A and B are shown apart, each in its own frame.
Chain A
């Protein structure tokens, strides 16, 4: 425990039941700064529940979630975001009626203005700094040419990139990705992996929930395996690959 200061997200003893169903039991997770941490597990293992507990959508029955020194449990999603947690959804959650530029401007404004700022007489167009900020993120993701395009008209892969841009513009302490390649073509998936690898180079801490082992093994530094609401194994991708317990419970002996 000598490197406590390096732990970004600290989940301790989180329990959650729905009705009689134990969705999460005694979850403990430490995620180190700069690392990409993957959480894998079969359907219904509780991955999404865990993520929702982390972002404040669900309140755990017991246990705490800490971001650095801040307690996240009991906070609203917007408060948690303001503390530095950004999230990418399983199906892209963007602002379909707005342009890409506006999609990215909004989180940039959230970062700058906080959870509420009443500035109805300030000109947005006159604010060059924030436009530049947004544009540079769009450029990073190769979307600069489409900045004035309506988000609704983009392909699913591009929407995912927009959502990533929306998260990145906030330079969060922690980025949570819920199956970022779900439902994507092989091409789009590879593209996404590439982008995520780029981000990795920036040293951003990430938690990825993923099904696709290809994605997990190309990105993750560390893997936790969730089954029936409990963590059954933890380790580097290689360790997990070789862990018979994991193969039994989750992979069902399938090839890796």
Chain B
């Protein structure tokens, strides 16, 4: 898996270190991290293969998303190595990949379990970097985890291609030179949803937010609040709910008894399933609010997986999503076909973003002609590409955020199949969701 030469060298160092254990602290600089590494961390040198680290939640609340991400990664590896039908490698533009691995080296991978916990995710990523010699880490289905792992990779000078993470912070105040995000963010959700919310619910609504109490929830609450207040809405109360909450009835009853008339659920995954369930069981959606208007529910970020978890409750509810398998473009069709051929069902948006990220990394290596992040990072910064399911897309150099169209979706009232749960209401053009790179602060730092 990893390079022989590096291994021998490292062993000798270790031996030396072991013997001279007592002297370790007297000999400061010689033995610091990666003393044996050549140009950059985990340089594959003349090895015939390279290792990528797929760090996804395999246990815990997001493990279904994690499983789907892993499927996508395996598919991507297969395609990179020239197997399968090639998937998006047939559509991607521009493309330098040749189907012979990356830079002629076979792609191998290691997997790890983030448990959706930052420390566990970092430990897993560390193992991939230190033990398995991974050149790039990717994955995650929680912004907390993504930010934590991104920080670690930045310190270790290893590429991090974020998976599902929607917080503004990932490419905002916590952005890092070595981290790249393809997924959209909370600000974009707010900007994309605002017009349609105005159209559907008018511009004098009163919103009641229930917010998952962590990085992502905070930024989404802020983004939606800002976007809707610009429409003329007012925000009654932003209420934070602990991530561990399962019964939201107390929160819902307080919302009903407030003078609000739109419930915004800044929840993801099981949290959202539970809070929506409580809202529906209190008949909120059939009620007239104290303002005299019909109660409405908005779930700014939702996915097909979440819709599946909510069953009938989700029908008719508006939200935004990064990508959906039912999109009509050729790239989407190619990806869905190749994924469904292999696994028997269509991919989730998490799977899509992870697959695309893997290909984008590989492509950037090809274009840079090296695995050295010093070359790969510039190759990704400002890179423009198309035909990967989201239309024309750009990796903005200033914050490593992808800019592309955003989908506004609605829970399908009449699903024809068990997968047909989201109806794409509108494809919001990139221009409408774009913002200044400096808006969320943060610093990329040096290479």
Touch between A and B in complex, CB under 8 Å? no
The interface of chain B, by Cβ under 8 A from chain A, is: none
